[in-house]
Amino acid sequence: MIDLSLYLVASKQDKSDETFLNTLEQAIRGGVGIIQLREKELSARKFFELAFKVKKLCDAYCIPLIINDRLDIALALDASGVHLGQEDLDIKLARKILGKDKIIGLSLQKIEQLKNIEGANYLGCGAINSTPTKKSEILSLEILEQIITLSKLPVVAIGGIDETNVLNLKGLKLSGIAVVRAIMCAKDPFLASKNLRKLFKSL
């Protein structure tokens, strides 16, 4: 059973490896149950080298490491799985390549995309608020609720979620919340993670 309650989407950006890994470790200790490594700008070699270090950390705490987009990196690393967008490799083909035991997440923005989710383990739905990392149109809470109701898979909400707005999701039967800046930019990633997990559990 995957703990999707507090799902961290992490990018190194201008942090040193040491600072980045320390942020991740504090977040895990605070309650993050799964990490997705998203590196849009790094070369395959640099991405792999960073992911290798992150996997070592995740393995030490027995939590899954998901690689964003890059099936090749996930395979080379023997990561826990991969997260795919609507424009990435077909989900059924990804499942065939990865095998039945790996985790596959799928981004979803529209109800009609539910017809192509076979092979995925969970859905990442959003963005539910505007964010610097997601320029797509906002997914309303009404549509999100319909997706949760219609989907046979666990649903994680993403998009500008932080301590100030997470309670807006109250009443939705979400399996988790995915956050980026609320933890990665926090002065105290441990405390931020602890608070977010507590708030999610109260929904």
pLDDT tens digits for range 138-163: 999 999 999 999 999 999 999 999 99
d(CA 63, CA 165) in angstroms, rounded, equals 26
| Amino acid letter, 21 | L
**In Å, how far from its chain's centre is CA 60?**
19
Own/partner contacts of 105-113, CB < 8 Å, gap of 24 or more, are 105/36, 105/66, 105/81, 105/156, 107/83, 108/147, 109/136, 109/137, 109/139, 110/143, 111/143, 111/146, 111/147, 111/150, 113/86
* 39 appears as a binding residue in the annotation: yes
* 188 appears as a binding residue in the annotation: no
Cis bond leading into 10, ω under 30°?
no
184: its two tokens: 């990665």
* 68 appears as a binding residue in the annotation: yes
* 170 appears as a binding residue in the annotation: no
By DSSP bridging, strand 81-84 and strand 176-179 are unpaired
* 31 appears as a binding residue in the annotation: no
* 132 appears as a binding residue in the annotation: yes
Contact 66, 103 (CB under 8 A): yes
Residue range 6-201 forms a domain whose CATH class is: alpha beta
Which residue positions in the chain have pLDDT lower than 70? 133-136
- Predicted local distance difference test score (pLDDT) of residue 133: 59
Q: Could you tell me the residue ranges of all domains in the chain? A: 6-201
Helix (H) or strand (E) holding 143: helix 141-150
* 17 appears as a binding residue in the annotation: no
107: its two tokens: 């981004």
* 131 appears as a binding residue in the annotation: yes
Fill in the DSSP letter of residue 16. -
* 133 appears as a binding residue in the annotation: yes
CA-derived radius of gyration, the chain: 16
* 36 appears as a binding residue in the annotation: yes
- Predicted local distance difference test score (pLDDT) of residue 130: 82
| Amino acid letter, 5 | S
d(CA 200, CA 113) in angstroms, rounded, equals 26
